[in-house]
Amino acid sequence: MAPSTDRNQFLKVSEGQPFRLTALQYLAQAMQDKDAQLPLILDEGVPTGAFGALPSSGQWPPTQSSLDFTEDFSPASLEHCRGNWFLAESNPALLKELVEEEVRKGFVAKFEGTEEDAKRQWPQGTAIGKLNIVMAEGRDPRLVLDSTICGLNPAVHLPERVSLPNVSDVQRTFLHDDCYAQLHALSLDFKAAHKCCKVHPADQGSLLLRCIHALLCDFPHRAWLYVDDLLALLRASDKDLAAALVVALLAALNALISWKKAQFSQEVTWCGWTIRTDAETIELRELKLQKLREQLAALQQRSKVQRKELEGVLGLLNWATSLSKHMRPFMAPLYKDLHSCKGTLHSISPGMWGSFLDSLDKNAKLTRTPAGTWLPRNAQLLEVGSLKISCKADVPLVPPSHKHQWLRLADPHRSEVHLRHESKFVLSWLQHCFSHEQPRSLRTAPRMHCYSAADAFADTHRMGIGGWISTSDSFLWFSGIFSAEEVRKQWPQLQGSLQPYIGCFESLAQLALAQCSWQLLRSKQIRFVLPTASDNTSAESGLNKLFSTAEPLGTFLRLAATWAHLHRVQFEVEHLAGEKNVWADKLSRGSTAFLQHRSADKVEITLAQLASASHCVTLHDHSFKWPQPLLDAQHAMLK
């Protein structure tokens, strides 16, 4: 790889980090990696991104087309915090011990001087965060630094949008027709990864992972890296050699591996999930589940909760529902409470009115704190006195009176969040859902081989849905027009004209199409993915993600998610231009003449059936002719 390079230079470890960067650089060049210059940047030291642009790796999509750093960066945005968080302050002896350990390991260096000396040494800006101690059951206490409270993290500009893997990415690799139980798992954890790297862990880790993929090019494998947690699935026949190569590479690069966390087995734990490759199942760890249950129960007891507490629970819920997407729509009320801040009254003197106006952007949001006031930065102006404000144009140019003026501001950074009754119900329901856990299959559901599309239309007094599905041996279609009274009988919240709710009806049409597909396949498949098409972007995005905070669309997504979970159907909606969605458009408007020759293939859809989201049981007399596939399946079960 580098025959002319001096051995000592090749194996050199640069000061301030543990990796053999020269070896890593030659390896990256041999792989023709896009980010081959990363080892050089690591050797020199990477900027924080608070005072200038971070170098782009070229591996991730950019966050925006260009970053503008021409705006003045005020050092006043960075703060020097006094004291530490509660656990650190209440355990001074342990805090001192942990800090000394960090100094001894070389992760922390003591600065000999005052705060003023530090400002002179780093004139761009200095920040002092708060320390805290993390105490988790079964783990040693560890020291963490909060750099958000001092304003450093919010000031950092990342040029790329990094995507981290989760268990759904692992599941996607277990195809329906793969050979069963042919994999062995290797899980490695890098020791003190955040402290060893001079750069963001996602950039450092991505290069190591690409080296591992290149190393195992002759061995069928799958590998993921979540910050510093590596998971590799290796073919059982050559698992020992492949695992030895991975460990040898990491050792050659002097990557610090936490051997006590290393796992090489058919059952490993990765990112809080227990993965069994012999049974091809996955389940949540009990410790993580118990933590989630306790946090859900704690939130239900109070109407006001801390913002960080709610954010923490939502983070856990997003992680826990990685393989349970049907639960995501029910989290929408919690997100709505998190981002809908109640206004707080503030008052300013008439003499400050001009400065106050200058600090507002066109949307009536404070871009800065006016000098001489305590108005919160980035707060949204809701009212001036009794006058409702929606944009800056609504704000009076002069003070309404000669007295102090009352302003109602919504501060997005307010520490307290008010939970509505709907959110408390969701918390109770989620706690019940997570009251027990059972293994889930890693196998992905088979994809239905078909063409299908659905559409909807709506005007002031009526709405319609229609769609069709075609397989190699079957064809079904549906069409229905419903009045506003029929719609409001099921969904009374849809008041006024029906046209603004077109996204809801488009989602309803997709649900009706899924019910048609289930009738076709219920005797053939236990679960399946339905590929379909829609010309409505809100329905397409909502059904693929099964999430939206917009109402009443969220209600219809919860309906679709509930039915899909009960019937083990997964939505896979693709966008289809409206001009090409001709058949579904005609059916949604009741124009069925072109399919009259296939009237026997029509499926009757009712709004009550769609709104129930439950299993449908029907009774038939002895003369009813059952579909032949269903009869064949019944005979096969009786043999």
Compute the distance between CA of residue 307 and CA of residue 425 in angstroms, rounded to an integer.
19
Lowest mean pLDDT among 65-69, 142-146, 249-253, 370-374: 65-69
Between helices 307-320 and 286-300, what is the axis angle to 10°?
Answer: 140
Higher pLDDT, 17 or 471: 471
The pLDDT, as a whole number, for residue 635 is 57
Tell me if the bond preceding 492 is cis, omega within 30° of 0.
no
The answer to whether domain 446-636 has CATH 3.40.309.10 is no
Q: Would you say 477 and 468 are in contact if contact means Cβ atoms under 8 Å apart?
A: yes
Across 128-132, 156-160, 194-198, 356-360, least confident range: 194-198
DSSP assigned state of 621: -
Residue 192 DSSP code = T
Q: Are 340 and 380 in contact (CB under 8 A)?
A: no
Question: What pLDDT does 332 receive?
Answer: 92
Percent of the chain with pLDDT over 90: 34
For the chain, what percent of residues have pLDDT higher than 70?
90
The pair of structure tokens assigned to 213 is: 């993929």
> How far apart, in whole angstroms, are the C-alpha atoms of residue 632 and residue 628?
6
Q: What is the largest CA-CA distance in the chain?
A: 95
Compute φ and ψ for 120, nearest 5 degrees: -70, -35
State the pLDDT confidence band at 69, using cuts at 50, 70 and 90: very low
Can you give the pLDDT at residue 43?
76
Q: What is the pLDDT of residues 499-527, one digit of tens each?
A: 999 999 999 999 999 999 887 776 555 78
Q: Give one DSSP letter per residue of 565-586, joined into a string.
A: HHHTEEEEEEE--TTT-HHHHH
Quick one: pLDDT band at residue 70, thresholds 50, 70, 90?
very low
Question: DSSP string spanning 528-551?
Answer: EEEEEEES-HHHHHHHHHT---ST
What would the mean pLDDT of 436-449 be, rounded to a whole number? Answer: 88
Beta strands 528-534 and 569-575, pairing class:
parallel
* Other CB atoms within 10 Å distance of the CB of residue 636: 9
**pLDDT tens for residues 528-565?**
999 999 999 999 999 999 999 899 999 999 999 999 99
Q: How confident is the model at residue 42 (pLDDT cuts 50, 70, 90)?
A: confident
Identify the pLDDT of residue 460. 92
Distance between CA atoms of residues 264 and 276, nearest Å = 12
Contact present, 543 and 562 (Cβ < 8 Å): no
Q: Which CATH architecture has domain 10-48+161-279?
A: 2-Layer Sandwich (3.30)
pLDDT digits (tens, 9 = 90+) for 81-102: 888 888 888 888 898 888 888 8
What is the predicted pLDDT for the residue at 206? Answer: 46
From the centroid of its chain, how far is CA 610? 29
Residue 621 has pLDDT above 90, yes or no: no
Residues 325-361: tens digit of each pLDDT: 999 999 999 998 888 767 788 888 888 898 898 899 9
Structure tokens at 132: 């805290």
Distance CA 135, CA 145 (A): 14
pLDDT at 30: 81
Delimit the domains of the chain by residue range.
Answer: 10-48+161-279, 86-155, 284-339+417-436, 344-413, 446-636
- 397-423 pLDDT tens trace: 888 888 888 888 888 777 788 898 999
Spatial CB neighbours of 608, under 8 Å, sequence gap ≥ 6: 490
Nearest to 603 by CA among 454, 459, 449, 461: 454
Q: What was the pLDDT predicted at 21?
A: 80
